[in-house]
Structure 1
Amino acid sequence: MTGPLPAPGLPALLNGPTRPGVYRLPPADSPAHIAAAAAEADWRVARLRLEGVQDKTSFLERCAAELDLPEWFGRNWDALADCLMDLSWWRETGKFRGYLLIAEDWDAFAAAAPGAARTAESVLADAVDFWADREAPLTVLLS
């Protein structure tokens, strides 16, 4: 189960003391505010807007569109895992301190498709674990 972002919150995540993970976005923080703060701290940010997503197929389609996944993305769980463990498609020129994925409207998606949400969360957690001890870790915030 995903827990809340530990205190002191976003600053500790972006600057090191808080380990990368899959966390709940603090209710007082908006995704736009979080994305701006992360970008300012030299993190690469992607927002995954899940409004209206009701099932696995629409979740994977939204991932492809919102995250601008590579053409080889096969629109299945294994292909999503492959993309999240090879972030070459997400990198730009320059170095980032980390990668932050903000999944918005997660609760509505989880209510509409609990099985797909559990699987998606597992794929996200595996990717976070893969990148956790690397120079530029991946963290996921669910809102």
Structure 2
Amino acid sequence: MAAMTGPTPALSLNLDGVSDKDGLLLRCAQDLRFPDWFGHNWDALADCLTDLSWWGEAGGFLLHVRGWSAFREAAPEAAAIASDILADTVAYWAARGTPMTVHCADAP
């Protein structure tokens, strides 16, 4: 595993009130300060999360998610896809020696 080169920056994603895919993607763009090229679709979400140059230089990344359980209840299919994208992102960065952690504050 590669040594961490700097502090682990943390970002927060607040899903309170989000009940569908479009709302999730919009909230990701706003809360995570995605670059202008973000295309508001699943592929663009995956692209932003595997090209974290917009997040800044760091030896690791931490994403705090609030409201995940309510979002999952409101939009189970979208939540399943988003969950897969997040898991793939964590694996992508782990394979490159860069830790990425996704913490869902209200997950069971």
Instruction: Give the alignment's TM-score, normalised by structure 2.
Output: 0.87
Residue 43 of structure 1 aligns to a residue whose secondary structure is coil
| Alignment match of 1:63 (pick from 1, 19, 28) | 28
Unaligned runs of 5+ residues in structure 2 are 1-5
The correspondence of residues 1-143 of structure 1 with structure 2, limited to 5 A, is 42-92=7-57, 96-143=58-105
Report the CA distance between 1:134 and its aligned residue: 2.6
| Aligned mates of 1:115, 1:136 — CA distance in 2 | 29
What's the C-alpha RMSD, in Å, of the aligned pairs?
Answer: 1.6
Larger radius of gyration: 1
- Which structure 1 residue ranges, 4+ long, deviate > 3 Å from structure 2? none
Identity within the alignment, % = 52
| Alignment coverage as a number of residue pairs | 101
Residue 47 of structure 1 aligns to a residue whose secondary structure is strand
Instruction: Give the alignment's TM-score, normalised by structure 1.
Output: 0.67
